Amino acid sequence: MEQEAAPLISGLGLSKDDPSVVPKPAPCISYTGTYSGLEVTVVCNGRCSVHSVDNVGTVPAAVAAYLAVQAVQPDLLINAGTAGGFKARGAGIGDIYVSSKTVNHDRRIPLSGFDMYGHWAIESTPAPNLVKALNLKAGVVSSGNSMDFVQADLDNMEKQGAAVKEMEAAGIAWSAHLFGTPFFALKSITDIVDGGRVAQEEFMENLATAAKALHDTLGPVLEFVASKDVSEL
């Protein structure tokens, strides 16, 4: 969402690209610049021309990531955004998680072989030194296309040991996998999935706090990345 990205773009001193690095007809918006010696490009999904809201969910995220990787050919792809967290896994509002693995929790295909395809669990690029150096948290990031969830989704998330629930990372991980591009998700917690509150209310209440936490963390993350090879993260 552009509201999630705005503090990052400002904090990193990036400039809007015109035209976007992602070609039309994709509605993506991109920003580029240099930070800590790194060439940085931030790509947002853009807005839906029919409903005039941000494009969200795994499909727009996967398409944007595919086209962005194709255009920019990055050394590292990071999905930076906000998410729900599980207090049972130690999550609190404003905590920052680095993905250890991404998985889908709402693609239920009870056919031989397709069940595992539906979950499409894949390990993220390991970043244990980054997590330790910046005192971040690491955990499984689970993606779905609904802000709420049904019991089957919750069962899948519990089975996978999910610490974070959101709507993008698994789709982006799929695109990164196609290109062989190193990838991890960086997620700031807006709401507590197992906390008993309505997700959308808690999300809106804490979005500014979580976005600021993400902004405050991304700069040091990029500085750390600039000092290491991807294999040393």
Task: Give catalytic residues, as residue numbers.
Answer: 4, 191
- How far CA 120 is from CA of 23, 106, 174, in Å, comes to 28, 11, 8
**170: nearest Cα among 99, 103, 115:** 103
> Can you state the angle between helices 2-12 and 199-226, rounded to 10 degrees?
30
* Strands laid side by side in the 38-44 sheet: 15-16, 29-35, 38-44
Q: How far apart are CA 192 and CA 88, in angstroms?
A: 10
Q: Residue 223 phi/psi, 5° resolution? A: -65, -40
